[in-house]
Amino acid sequence: MESILEQYKVWLEIQGKSKNTIKTYNIIVKTFLNFIKKYLNLNDIDQFTINTYIDKNLIFRFLADEKINKKLDSNSLRLYIRGIASLLRFLDNENLAKQIKAPKVDKRLPKFITLEEFQRLINAAESYRNRLIIEFLFYTGVRVSELVKIKKDDIIFEEGLVKVLGKGGKERIVPIPKELLNRIKDYIEDLDSNIIFPLSSRQVERIIKRTAIKAGINKKVTPHVLRHSLATTLLSRGIDIRYIQELLGHSSLSITQIYTHVVPNQLKEIYKKVFDS
């Protein structure tokens, strides 16, 4: 079984999947393969066994058990199904991969903080570095996984831009406000590391959570909430949604369009100008 998992991991890397996706899919697939071993009472499992015994009913039985035992919601089930489908494609079983349908996603509006709450957040930062992390996440809209990989030479100081390596190895260029750019320039002068914020994603998440509590913000604040907050702020100021899509590195405009649901007052004003004038 370990050899299959290792080959599968290499295949995912070749497909250009992110480290987080590879880690998540490997956990799901390993759990699934252990289920097959136990269900079929096998000592070990190989590619021939999987291709011989795996079918839609077995997959659904596994998903049903996981849903009950781990209380999975529809979003988690979708992730499980994507993981198993990718295993099937790795095994050249495209037909079966197409047969397992994911449940509809629980569509929730993105959470965000106001500019006033953002100001309270940076004022509550425990250190200069932590303040820069919060500002960088908000003003650039980068993902936390992108933030912790940004190097000194990724910042083009004379242009006020930063090169960001996003999902699937796709690079994009993001602007940085002048004041933040100057603070970063001062900060990295005495920095030994080539990585600007040499932390793990989890460490950054803890910094944001701790700072939000200290600031008295009664919301769950995460790096992704800061990303949502930038998009919502820009959209409310009338910035074209296509520019926001480019800024956030969204592969599809439909992903970015969810932010149009969190600024209803602004949209009402636009409608008044267009239709009621």
Q: Check if 143 is active-site.
A: yes
Least-confidence region, from 1-5, 9-13, 114-118: 1-5
Ordered DSSP codes for 22-60: HHHHHHHHHHHHHHHHHHTT-S---HHHHHHH--HHHHH
Of 17, 131, 228, 250, which one is the catalytic site residue? 250
Catalytic residue among 167, 209, 210, 214: 167
**What's this model's pTM, rounded to 2 decimal places?**
0.59
Residue with tokens 């242009």: 159
φ, ψ of residue 46 in degrees (nearest 5): -130, 180
The pLDDT confidence band at residue 185, using thresholds 50, 70 and 90, is: very high
Residues of 67-77 as b/e, b for ≥16 C-beta within 10 angstroms? beeeebeeebb
What average pLDDT is seen over the chain?
A: 83
Tell me how far apart the alpha carbons of residues 12 and 168 are, in angstroms, rounded to a whole number: 11
Residue 274 has pLDDT above 70, yes or no: no
pLDDT at 244 over 80: no
Q: Indicate the pLDDT class of residue 271, thresholds 50, 70 and 90.
A: very low
Which one is catalytic: 227, 237, 268, 273?
227
- Separation between Cα atoms, residue 11 and residue 186, nearest integer Å: 42
Across 178-205, average pLDDT: 94
From the list 17, 131, 143, 228, the catalytic residue is: 143
Catalytic residue among 104, 259, 268, 272: 259
Answer whether residue 107 shows pLDDT above 70.
Answer: no
In angstroms, rounded to a whole number, what is the distance separating the alpha carbons of residues 79 and 91? 19
Which pLDDT does position 196 carry in this prediction?
Answer: 96
By residue count, the chain amounts to: 277
Q: What is the mean pLDDT of residues 53-72?
A: 84
Q: Determine whether 227 is an active site residue.
A: yes
C-alpha span between 198 and 147 (Å, rounded): 9
**What is d(CA 37, CA 84) in angstroms, rounded to the nearest whole number?**
15
Q: How far is Cα 25 from Cα 80, in angstroms, rounded to an integer?
A: 8
Quote the CA–CA distance of 16 and 31 in Å, as a whole number: 23
Residue 235 pLDDT grade (very low, low, confident, very high; cuts 50, 70, 90): confident
CA pair distance 190, 152, nearest whole angstrom: 12
Task: Single out the catalytic residue among 111, 151, 183, 224.
Answer: 224
Predicted confidence at residue 50, as pLDDT, reads: 80
Annotated catalytic, 259?
yes
Residue 208: per-residue pLDDT: 96
155-156, strands of its sheet edge to edge: 155-156, 161-165, 171-175
Phi, psi of 52 (to 5 degrees): -80, -45
Active site residue 261: no
Residue 157: pLDDT band (50, 70, 90) is: very high
The per-residue pLDDT for range 35-45, each reduced to its tens digit, is 888 887 777 77
Q: Give 169-195 as a 3 state SS string.
A: HCEEEEECCHHHHHHHHHHHHCCCCCE
Model confidence band, residue 184 (pLDDT cutoffs 50, 70, 90): very high
- Residue 203 to residue 197: CA distance in whole angstroms: 10
Summarize the confidence of residues 94-107 as an average pLDDT.
Answer: 74
Average pLDDT value for residue range 75-84: 89
Which pLDDT tens digit goes with each residue over 10-46?
Answer: 999 998 888 889 999 999 999 999 888 888 777 777 7
Does the annotation count 30 as an active-site position?
A: no
DSSP secondary structure letter of residue 261: G
Domains of the chain, start order: 2-99 (1.10.150.130), 115-266 (1.10.443.10)
